[in-house]
Amino acid sequence: MTQARALFAERGFAGTSIRAIATGASVDPALVHHYFGNKDDLFLAAMAIKVDPRQEMAPVIAGGADAAGENLMWVVVKVWGDAEIRLSLLGVARGVFEPDGQQMIKDGFLGMVLGPLGKGLDLDEPERRMALVASQMFGLVILRYVLEVEPLASMSEELLVATFAPSLQRYFTGDLPN
């Protein structure tokens, strides 16, 4: 797992192969596939994330683009509200401040979570829209859960959703300036 984490940090998700991880760990690539499945699953295991973001995003996609802002916020408060999951995610979130962790955040959050969300919702300009969504999500996560800045840290989940969902919705479906 250490080898996988190190290579993902150094090369990013796209630049890391299961073969390279297996070679670095002196094991057969088939063994890595056997225990971890595909590269997405290996990435989640290497980051010690206790939640599969692909499953969590399914209801957001199913709810459609017109409800994506609110649905995404409810996923965020549900996932981050779970103490065990939050513990694993805090390590990942703090990685944004470390040079090696930045690529993992880009590949993991943007590549595995928001990128597929934008495509699954069939949005126009999904890369641009998801980068805007990410800006709000990272700000919220860092201020509420990492730095625990008030009043965000103690805001009720309902108020949090009501406050952030309209901004997210604008990024999902609103007109974007040119």
> pLDDT digit string (tens) for 50-103?
677 778 889 999 999 999 999 999 999 998 888 877 776 776 666 666 665 666
d(CA 5, CA 59): 29
Q: Hey, what domains does the chain have and what are their CATH numbers? A: 2-46 (1.10.10.60), 53-173 (1.10.357)
DSSP 107: I
Evaluate if residue 105 carries a pLDDT over 70: no
| Interhelix angle 53-63/68-81, nearest 10 degrees | 150
- The model carries a pTM of 0.72
Encoded amino acid at 54, one letter:
R
